[in-house]
Amino acid sequence: MPRVSARPARRGRWSAFVALVLVAVMADDLGAEYADVVLNKRAEREGMRPVVFPHWFHRIRFRCKVCHSELGFEMRAGANDVTMDEITQGKFCGMCHNDEIAWGVDNCDLCHSGRPGLRSGIYGGHQTLGPGRW
Amino acid sequence: MTYGACDVLNISVRRILLTLTLTLCTAWTHAGEWKSLLEDGIHDPAGPAIGILQQPAEALGILPPDVTGNKVRWRKALEDGYINPRASLAPDTRIRQLDTNILMRNTGDLPYVLFPHKPHTEWLDCSNCHERIFKSKTGATPMTMLAILNGQYCGQCHGAVAFPLTECGRCHSVPATEAGNAASVR
């Protein structure tokens, strides 16, 4: 009898343990998740910090459709092949960061603000948190 | 069948561990505050932009609160006028909106999913979803929760930018017994 009933109990402890570990893994990223996008295809290789694009900051000012429909940003991290030349010519971020809608491209450090070594991609959200990753 | 002391002990150990886990889960998921840019793991603490860039807490702390994600109830923030983000840059851009609901009933034991077009088209254009992610025909897009958790379908935005997938009840919001016929059903 005790042996038999010990199994579900152990399983109970085991699943609680698994749940705790999962929660601990998640806890790493808890606190608000900002959905910041890091763009670092070329920046760091060419001597600049990676670029951090903050969704939360921009969505207070613009609806998604402005960037992802009107301005044509693909809705997938890494899908837009952004280069500094094109920005300076008024494409991508440069459609707004042109000293008219927002401050211009001479403010290098405001965009190139990422920690060295960051990989391109979205940070926070389903890429770092949630069963999809396990 | 009677329980021995061992069984009782085992059962209560299990229950205590479960309760503990759930409590910790809730505490952890609901605890976080807005991390400062210095400690978000993304910004270079030694860079010159720290101190110039806006701290998330400053901008987000005054919006309707949420328990997860950005900790902002973005739908409410927009509908109640806390924010009024621009819908277009050019004056002649067509702004399209739609107010229909779709009831999704392939949900196993969980409540049905109610997909509302309105809060989506406030933020998004039709082309952000149609026809790339979803067909404009009720029932034409085969979806599973696993695919969603993997970042497809609803998971393309929910989790990354919109409220996260841990909020089951915000999508699975219509108990089968309360499903009326106000919505397009799939």
Low-confidence ranges of chain A (pLDDT < 70): 1-31, 125-134
Residue A29 has a pLDDT of 45
Q: Is B54 on the interface with A (CB under 8 A)?
A: yes
Residue A22 has a pLDDT of 43
Query: Domain residues of chain A, as ranges?
Result: 33-122
CA distance B181 to chain A (A): 31
Residues A26/B28, Cβ–Cβ less than 8 Å? yes
Could you give the 3-state DSSP secondary structure of residue A122? strand
Which residues in chain A are contacts of B7 at CB distance < 8 A?
A: 1-2, 5, 9
Residue A127 has a pLDDT of 45
Query: Strands B184-185, B101-104: parallel, antiparallel or unpaired by DSSP?
Result: parallel
Which residues in chain A are contacts of B124 at CB distance < 8 A?
A: 63-65, 68-69
Q: Is A49 on the interface with B (CB under 8 A)?
A: yes
Residues A115/A50, Cβ–Cβ less than 8 Å? yes
A32–B32 C-beta distance less than 8 A: yes
A129–B32 C-beta distance less than 8 A: no
Residue A23 has a pLDDT of 40
How many angstroms separate the CA atoms of B86 and A95, rounded? 15
Could you give the 3-state DSSP secondary structure of residue A12? helix
How many angstroms separate the CA atoms of B70 and B157, rounded? 13
What is the domain class of B96-186 according to CATH? alpha beta
Residue B182 has a pLDDT of 57
Residues B82/B165, Cβ–Cβ less than 8 Å? no
Q: Is A87 on the interface with B (CB under 8 A)?
A: no
Query: Strands A51-54, B101-104: parallel, antiparallel or unpaired by DSSP?
Result: unpaired
Please write the tens of the pLDDT for every residue from B82-121. Answer: 999 999 999 999 999 999 999 999 999 999 999 999 999 9
Which of B:74-93 have CB within 8 Å of A?
74, 83, 85-90, 93
Shortest CA distance from B122: residue in chain A: A63
Structure tokens at B131: 């026809």
Residue B17 has a pLDDT of 55
B17–A132 C-beta distance less than 8 A: no
Residue B124 has pLDDT above 60, yes or no: yes
C-alpha dihedral sign at A44, A99, B41, B76: negative
What is the domain class of A33-122 according to CATH? alpha beta
Residues B28/B50, Cβ–Cβ less than 8 Å? no
Shortest CA distance from B96: residue in chain A: A65
Residues A12/B14, Cβ–Cβ less than 8 Å? yes
ipTM of the complex: 0.81
What would the mean pLDDT of B49-71 be, rounded to a whole number? 93
The β-bridge partners of A39 are A51
Q: pTM here?
A: 0.89
| Disruptive mutation site among B37, B44, B125 for chain A (greatest number of A CBs within 10 Å) | B44
Give the best-scoring range by mean pLDDT among A93-107, B27-41, B58-72, B168-182: A93-107
